Amino acid sequence: MNTLVQLESALLGSEEAVQALSQADSSRILVVSDTHGHYPVFEAIVKEYGPLCDTLLFAGDGMWDLVEYIENAHDSDRLREALPPVAAFVAGNGDGDQYRVRLGSAGDPEHPREAPGCSLVVPSRQILHASGYSLFLTHGHRYSVDVSLEMLVDSAHAMGCDVAVFGHTHIPFAETFTHILALNPGSPARPRGKSEPSFAVLELDAVSTEPKTSFFLVREGLLGGISFDEPLKGRG
Number of domains in the chain: 1
Domain span at residue 200?
12-123+185-228
The pLDDT of residue 222 is above 60: no
Q: Give domain status of residue 148, yes or no.
A: no
The pLDDT of residue 193 is above 80: yes
Q: Give domain status of residue 57, yes or no.
A: yes
Q: Give domain status of residue 145, yes or no.
A: no
Q: Give domain status of residue 82, yes or no.
A: yes
pLDDT digits (tens, 9 = 90+) for 169-191: 999 999 999 899 999 999 999 99
Q: Give domain status of residue 161, yes or no.
A: no
Confidence of residue 236 (pLDDT cuts 50, 70, 90): very low
Mean pLDDT for the stretch of residues 4-21? 97
* pLDDT score of 234: 44
Q: Give domain status of residue 4, yes or no.
A: no
Give the CATH number, domain containing residue 64. Answer: 3.60.21
Print the SS3 string covering 128-191.
EEECCEEEEEECCHHHCCCCCCHHHHHHHHHCCCCEEECCCCCCCEEEEECCEEEEECCCCCCC
Q: Give domain status of residue 38, yes or no.
A: yes
The percent of residues above 90 in pLDDT, for the chain, comes to 84
**Cis-peptide, bond into residue 116, ω within 30° of zero:** yes
Q: Give domain status of residue 71, yes or no.
A: yes
